[in-house]
Amino acid sequence: MNVAQSGWFVPVLAILTLQTLSAFLSRLIPIVGPVIASDYGWASSSIGYMTASNALGGLAMLMVGSALIRKVGGIRMLQLVLLLGAVSMVLFLYPNLAVAFLVCFAMGFSNGMSSPAGSDVLQRFSTPARRNLMFSIKQAGVPFGGMVAGLLVPVTIAFTNWPIALLICGILVCGITLTTWRLSPILDYVPGRNARTSLASSPGGSEDTVPASRSPVPRPIRILAEPLTSLLRGPGLLRMAIVGSLFAVSQSCWFAFTVVYLIERHDYSLALAGLVFSVMQIGAIFGRLILGWLSDILSSAKATLIVASIVAALTTVLLGLSSAQWPLWVMMLLALVAGCSVAGWNGVQIAEMARLSPPGLVAETSAGSAILYSFVHILAPTAFAAFVFATGRYDIAFIALAVFPLLVAFVVPRKRSGRASTSMDGGA
């Protein structure tokens, strides 16, 4: 039986489920954080620090996650960090800001683990005909998890209180995670461990470990540096990682400033601005699926990413040029299209990273790429905010932002890597 052709549904469903839970967990902080801070008398700025702590937790896991995946397996590691993040939320009941930072840090682990773990699993069960769509389905779990958190948590808090809301969320995350527990022996590949089912040991041998070489560099340092150095281990890897970072510049600023921009410059209410933001999340879900499907149909991730970059640049310019006189339906349409392009690239780019990766290094290269655009998600909104604070000009800031996705056309790898393509086919 060809596993990649007949058994692809279970790996995709498992990773989509865990990816959605990871996104759900990470979105709880900006939603529940203001209520917790208010109850405990903390400054409103503490929300930003809690969010930053969550991002740092994800970044820390990206640095060491690929090594852990080799020892435990992608599915199992993602399950473990989800359970840890969910259980750790009980410590929010202790009214100490330092403890809250540690909880947020732990909750960020799953966000950092989801990309390398998902790539590690999906690249072994995907075929060239389905690869981009499978990875895009997985990435659709990110905006979907955000939508579920945005709809469920505020309503639960309104009818109960935030501790009960977090308890329900924790039970939900733990319960759904445990339903996937038995899939780890089926889907995970751990070097040196005998496969217990035929699914885990897919033919082709593309998951053999890369032989370790003697190095004067201490092993802990090599483990931390491996995700970034792995981007130099294959043709086109670093360029494709930079493509993700260029898209991430515009995506991070759209997500961070759309609501406040609509409130301050368009006189929208918070509810109305939130509605436009939700429409953008819906666009992100469908955009990831559409771009993944289109990339497979065209057999060209390059063409798909270039089209997405052009649309992303145009919508970003239009957002900067928009005014309070624009009808609501126009802004919602703009948000929908922007979601498809500005936030729809992830699945195709991650699939390409997996395709271009040398055998046995998919988790590392995926983590390395994610580390780069994690830094972008921290730096880009900071620079955007500083510019707006200094000039008061959102329009110029958004127009300047549009330059970054346009650079994708000049950076995206030109040639397909025969070695990577062969390994993917062999692993199918």
Q: Which two tokens stand for residue 292?
A: 């993944």
Task: Give the pLDDT mean for 101-118.
Answer: 88
Equal CATH topology for 1-190 and 220-413: yes
Task: Give the pLDDT mean for 366-386.
Answer: 81
Do residues 62 and 114 make contact, with C-beta atoms less than 8 angstroms apart?
no
Q: What is the pLDDT of residues 335-346, one digit of tens each?
A: 999 999 998 888
Mean pLDDT of the chain: 80
Indicate the SS3 state at residue 158.
helix
Dihedral-angle region of residue 192 (phi above 0 means left; psi in -120 to 50 means alpha; beta otherwise): left
* Residue, of 257 and 107, whose pLDDT is higher: 107
Q: What is the pLDDT of residue 195?
A: 43
* Residue, of 158 and 334, whose pLDDT is higher: 334
Give the global pTM. Answer: 0.70
Q: What is the pLDDT of residues 404-413, one digit of tens each?
A: 999 998 988 8
**Can you name the CATH fold of 1-190?**
Growth Hormone; Chain: A; (1.20.1250)
- Within 126-236, residue ranges assigned H as helices are 131-139, 141-159, 162-179, 184-187, 219-229
Reference 257, options 146, 140, 394, 165; nearest CA is 394
Confidence bin at 425 (pLDDT 50/70/90): very low
Confidence bin at 211 (pLDDT 50/70/90): very low
Which letter, b or e, does each residue of 374-407 get, where b requires 16 or more Cβ atoms within 10 Å of its Cβ? bebbeebbeebeebbeeeeebbebbbbbbebbbb
Task: Give the pLDDT mean for 249-275.
Answer: 81
Where are the chain's structural domains?
A: 1-190, 220-413
User: What class has domain 220-413?
Assistant: mainly alpha
C-alpha span between 404 and 247 (Å, rounded): 7
Say yes or no to pLDDT of 163 above 90.
Answer: yes
Confidence bin at 379 (pLDDT 50/70/90): confident
Reference 305, options 238, 247, 239, 234; nearest CA is 247
Question: SS3 letters for 39-108?
Answer: HHCCCCCHHHHHHHHHHHHHHHHHHHHHHHHHHHCHHHHHHHHHHHHHHHHHHHHCCCHHHHHHHHHHHC
